[in-house]
């Protein structure tokens, strides 16, 4: 720590996300890219000055993350280098294509969490008065609501300076680190228990997996690589769905979710469905204008009764959604740690499919003399098996399917999208249609099961490594696990996560093993080896230096035991001579 930095604990959502990043550190899945086209004259000097004001205003934009002494902390700096650049594409053969390629590369370029800054802003010039504004935020310091805050403040400050006036935004009442400390104190005792009671009941006996047919086996550690399929829908469908929703005292979000749930039911015939959805989690007035990670992904569970009508399903979805809103304060990561859901290797716990709605009447960014339009930009990642993002503006109604390329091929997702549109059209034609009467998805591919683990037959020696060395390492691992997990007994076949382990505890195991064995171990490899037996096997056969180190320690232990026995014999002999004399 230095005089110009301050250290704070992470919020609970930040901690959960930081741990997820450690599992796939080479993925850009937690980058949030945002791209807009600007037509008209841009005052670049005012733009850079405006960006500097926003960064000075929000501590979260001057925050980095470090791991020290087994704990992760967020470090707020007094200043960081201005993360702003300009790029001129006017002399390239195809400025639009060149700018798009640049934007995609920046959307995928990783951030250094320890050094920052954790946002990048680029002004890309395509012609004399044609630009693109590219913003890339790391999710640890931002969310969807935050982007609206950023663009709104950019509008207000730029406009004031453009008019020769000082910017007049009121100081923020608190900063994000204040929220993180407050949240940790609040979510203890009775409030935490009340939230847990709700979620334990809501997710009792929940299915571990939504069995959507995939094209490929599920890997034990997902790559988070993804692709998108965009379904453009007639705007009239949205207008008609809004009318149906309002007649049942429902929001458009609830109605679209009920359509999506009906589609999933007719695609899988599964009657117990859980879909995750992001909630803003900004009930405090003090955080309404904050840039930071507040969004909480929470599971929305629907139990389908095929003989019910879609209108009845909509009412159930409404009730579930309202209950979730009332209990949104508990971060999803804390929920998982508390209820210990059944884990499927390579699948996110509780839900694998997510749903969201983005609804806006106008562009958030408004700058004097400029025509502004939001552009689509995706960085080819997917945190879940499938995410459906619905978007409604005065001009467009669309569904973007973001899917894991570990599991799905493009034609499979296109069929699902077409099927959803068919279900939506039939629901709008007859909202009281029986769920079982909705069209079923014709499956071209069947659901592929995860690859079974390889059974290992124990031999006295495997690949030249004595089995006794594995036993030595297993005992070392048992002692580490007992200390980290706080358990007194465990078997070498016990699963780390079934014993109450989670990501942060596995990081502690990783650090202790690296110190003891003097090797660099990827966290993903430990997640692939969740028992003492499989972890010992991986360490012995994955690092040639480990068997030699263990043998050296065994020889040292044997030498120490021999010396100890010799000392004991000498002491016994001296005692006998003393007794005779």
Strands 296-303, 84-88: parallel, antiparallel or unpaired by DSSP? unpaired
Fold of 203-362+376-437: Chloramphenicol Acetyltransferase (3.30.559)
- What distances in angstroms separate CA 21 from CA 111, 141, 354, 513, one per listed residue? 11, 14, 19, 20
Reading the block at residue 47, the tokens are 């733009």
State the Cα–Cα distance between residues 278 and 276, nearest whole angstrom. Answer: 7
Equal CATH topology for 203-362+376-437 and 461-556: no
State the Cα–Cα distance between residues 553 and 516, nearest whole angstrom. Answer: 11
The model's pLDDT over 326-361, given as tens digits with 9 standing for 90+, comes to 999 999 999 998 888 888 888 999 999 999 999 986
pLDDT of residue 474: 87
Mean pLDDT of the chain: 89
Contact 286, 271 (CB under 8 A): no
Residue 564 backbone phi and psi in degrees, to 5: -65, -40
**Distance in angstroms between the alpha carbons of the first and the last residue of the chain:** 67
The model's pLDDT over 219-237, given as tens digits with 9 standing for 90+, comes to 988 999 999 999 999 999 9
The model's pLDDT over 83-103, given as tens digits with 9 standing for 90+, comes to 999 999 999 999 999 999 999
Q: What is the DSSP string of 417-429?
A: HHHHHHHHHHHHH
* Spatial CA neighbour of 258 closest among 431, 443, 413, 404: 431
The model's pLDDT over 345-403, given as tens digits with 9 standing for 90+, comes to 889 999 999 999 999 866 779 999 999 999 999 999 999 999 999 999 988 999 999 99
Looking at domain 461-556, its CATH superfamily turns out to be ACP-like (1.10.1200.10)
Residue 218 backbone phi and psi in degrees, to 5: -75, 125
Q: For residue 456, name the pLDDT band (cuts at 50, 70, 90).
A: very low
Evaluate if residue 446 carries a pLDDT over 70.
Answer: no
Contact 274, 301 (CB under 8 A): yes
Fold of 5-177: Chloramphenicol Acetyltransferase (3.30.559)
Reading the block at residue 430, the tokens are 């007859």
State the Cα–Cα distance between residues 5 and 444, nearest whole angstrom. Answer: 57
266 upstream amide cis, omega within 30 of 0 = no
Domain locations along the chain: 5-177, 203-362+376-437, 461-556
């Amino acid at each position: 720590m230095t005089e110009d930095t301050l250290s704070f604990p992470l919020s609970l959502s930040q901690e959960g996300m930081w741990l997820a990043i450690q599992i796939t550190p080479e993925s850009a899945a937690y980058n949030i890219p945002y791209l807009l086209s600007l037509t008209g004259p841009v005052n670049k000097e005012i733009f850079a000055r405006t960006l500097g004001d926003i960064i000075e205003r929000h501590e979260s934009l001057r925050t980095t993350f470090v791991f020290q002494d087994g704990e992760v902390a967020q470090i707020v700096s007094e200043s960081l280098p201005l993360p702003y650049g300009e790029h001129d594409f006017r002399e390239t053969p195809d400025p639009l294509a060149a700018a798009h390629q640049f934007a995609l590369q920046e959307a995928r370029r990783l951030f250094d969490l320890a050094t920052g800054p954790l946002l990048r802003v680029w002004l890309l010039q395509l012609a004399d008065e044609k630009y693109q504004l590219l913003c890339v935020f790391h999710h640890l310091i931002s969310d969807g609501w935050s982007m609206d805050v950023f663009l709104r403040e950019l509008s207000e400050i730029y406009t004031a300076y453009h008019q020769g006036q000082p910017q007049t935004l009121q100081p923020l009442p608190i900063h994000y680190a204040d929220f993180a400390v407050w949240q940790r104190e609040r979510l203890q005792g009775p409030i935490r228990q009340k939230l847990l009671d709700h979620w334990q009941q809501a997710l009792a006996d929940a299915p571990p997996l939504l069995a959507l047919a995939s094209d490929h086996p599920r890997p034990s550690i997902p790559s988070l690589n993804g692709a998108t399929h965009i379904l453009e829908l007639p705007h009239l469908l949205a207008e008609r769905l809004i009318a149906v929703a309002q007649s049942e005292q429902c929001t458009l979000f609830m109605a679209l979710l009920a359509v999506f749930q009906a589609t999933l039911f007719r695609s899988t015939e599964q009657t117990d469905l859980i879909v995750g959805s992001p909630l803003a989690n900004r009930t405090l007035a003090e955080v309404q204008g904050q840039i930071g990670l507040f969004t909480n992904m929470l599971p929305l569970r629907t139990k389908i009764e095929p003989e019910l009508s879609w209108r009845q399903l909509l009412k159930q979805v409404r009730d579930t959604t309202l209950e979730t809103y009332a209990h949104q304060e508990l971060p999803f990561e804390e929920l998982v740690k508390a209820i210990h859901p059944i884990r499927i290797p390579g699948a996110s716990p509780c839900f694998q499919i997510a749903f969201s709605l983005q609804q806006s009447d106008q562009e958030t960014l408004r700058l004097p003399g400029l025509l502004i339009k939001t552009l689509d930009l995706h960085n080819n990642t997917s945190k879940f098996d499938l995410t459906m993002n619905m978007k409604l503006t005065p001009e467009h109604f669309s569904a973007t399917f973001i899917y894991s390329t570990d599991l799905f091929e493009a034609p499979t997702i296109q069929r699902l999208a077409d099927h959803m549109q068919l279900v939506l059209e039939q629901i709008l034609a007859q909202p009281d249609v029986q769920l079982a009467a909705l069209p079923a998805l014709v499956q071209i591919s069947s659901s592929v099961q995860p690859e079974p683990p390889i059974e290992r037959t124990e031999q006295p020696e495997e690949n030249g490594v004595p089995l006794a060395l594995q036993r030595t390492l297993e005992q070392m691992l048992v002692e580490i696990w007992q200390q980290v997990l706080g358990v007194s007994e465990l078997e070498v076949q016990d699963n780390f996560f079934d014993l109450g382990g989670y990501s942060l505890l596995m990081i502690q195991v990783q650090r202790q093993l690296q110190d003891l064995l003097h090797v660099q171990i990827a966290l993903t490899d430990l997640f692939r080896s969740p028992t003492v037996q499989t972890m010992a096997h991986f360490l012995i056969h994955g690092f040639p230096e480990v068997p030699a180190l263990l043998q050296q320690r065994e020889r040292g232990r044997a030498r120490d035991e021999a010396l100890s026995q010799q000392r004991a014999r000498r002491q016994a002999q001296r005692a006998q001579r003393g007794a005779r004399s």
